[in-house]
Amino acid sequence: MSLIAHVLDGGLLTAEFQPIVTLDDGAVVGYEALCRGPSRRELPRSLFAQARMAGRLGELDAKCRNAAFDCAINAGIAAPLSLFVNVEPEQLDDRTVDELLALAGTAPDGVQLILEVTERALASRPARLLAAVQRLRESDWRLALDDVGADDISLAFMSLLRPEVVKLDLRLVQQRPTPAIAGIVNAANAYAEQTGAVILAEGIETAEHLGVAAAMGARLGQGWLFGPPDPSLLSGLPGSRLPLPGMEVPGSPGASPFACLPESTVLRRSTKPLLVEVSKHLERKAALEGEACIVIASFQEARYFTPGTARRYQELARHLAYVSVIGEDMPTEPVTGVRGIALDADDPVRAEWDVVVLTPHFAAALLARDLDDSVVREDERAFEFTVTYNRDVVIAATRSLLSREFPLAD
């Protein structure tokens, strides 16, 4: 019998807890639940790799969540502490959300529940992740984005997910500073300044790491300096409430991008040639912004995603975190590296020409609406449009476009 079969069939999963503390006074504000096998040497990465190969990933993920709650309750977790719970990104769907909501009902009153997700969820199914997070937030769950800096896509999607806690990858405090690390830390701090989110540094093992974490803007810390993972909670230490912001998500995800514009927006009119050049300008700007960049564009119909445009977007996809194109009859991968999203004929985005560019430090969008689709000559087609640099509007428009991949909850 394989190890994963032995663990799952024998009900041998358990959980350990690593403390999360405030850096200024060392007060414990919560614990991260970490899955373990019967010998405590089986780390989550190994168990999940074996479960994936055995086709039992969903079963392991569900049992890890159950073990996290059962063991935390048995260990005596209580208000005002927070419990950080990991979810395997590939399994984050409606069923998983239902299970998390049911488990929340078993938690002691006043324990703050925080879902941890990693960049793997962002890369594989961003729209589904946004939908799941939206449902959980409505039931008072909070969100932590884990391993920030391990992959550029976590920085790119941070503004869309709106995590209350940003967990810096452990290498950021353990390695010598580099330009790349400085860029990651600056992006995390920019997001925290914009939203009130809290930065947490992982991997703090020495006093030197502690000083680096504080210099990076972290208010919370996690690592062996404060305590290793253990089946028991730290005894004799007072718990403290982790104050987190009420995170507002800009815009209605179900609206079309054009509908995200404020009523006060002054619209201009133009025929297609000018908008082609405006679109190309935003594409060039995206290319200069670097790897932590999202570009999503709607083209009404797949036939307007011309070979020349396809070549430009394929080049963008080679360097950026996420690139997708939307239109009626659009294939799922129109060119290598570019995600395609097909529109229904009656979708309001079918009448729009939208290009959004979103990074940790930059946001811009061309939002245009077709005024007359009966014109025979393409270069005579007229649009009303605006180019906006309002970050909240760009975020709302981006969420709206992503929702076409997977409908978000009402």
Per-residue DSSP letters for 23-47?
Answer: TTT--EEEEEEEEE-TTS---HHHH
Q: For 236, what's the count of Cα atoms within 13 Å in the CB-facing half-sphere?
A: 0
Could you tell me the CA-to-CA distances from 195 to 139, 231, 247, 337 in Å, in that order?
Answer: 20, 34, 7, 31
Sign of CA dihedral 251, 256, 260, 263: negative
Number of neighbouring beta carbons within 10 Å of residue 40: 12
pTM: 0.90
**Domains, the chain, ordered by start:** 3-221 (3.20.20.450), 258-402 (3.30.870)
> How high is the pLDDT of residue 39?
74
> How high is the pLDDT of residue 1?
60
pLDDT tens digits, the chain, 410 residues: what are they? 688 888 888 888 899 999 999 999 999 999 999 988 877 666 677 888 888 888 888 899 899 999 999 999 999 999 999 999 998 777 788 889 999 999 999 999 999 999 998 766 566 777 788 888 889 998 999 999 998 988 778 888 899 999 999 999 999 999 999 998 999 999 999 999 999 999 999 999 999 999 999 999 999 999 999 999 999 998 767 678 999 998 877 766 668 999 999 999 999 999 999 999 999 999 999 999 988 999 999 999 999 999 999 999 999 999 999 999 999 999 999 999 999 999 999 999 999 999 999 999 999 999 999 997 676 677 788 999 999 999 999 999 999 999 887 544 43
Number of neighbouring beta carbons within 10 Å of residue 398: 28
Phi-psi region of 247 (alpha: psi -120 to 50; beta: other; left: phi over 0): beta
Could you tell me the CA-to-CA distances from 202 to 23, 92, 145, 219, 356 in Å, in that order?
Answer: 12, 24, 12, 11, 33
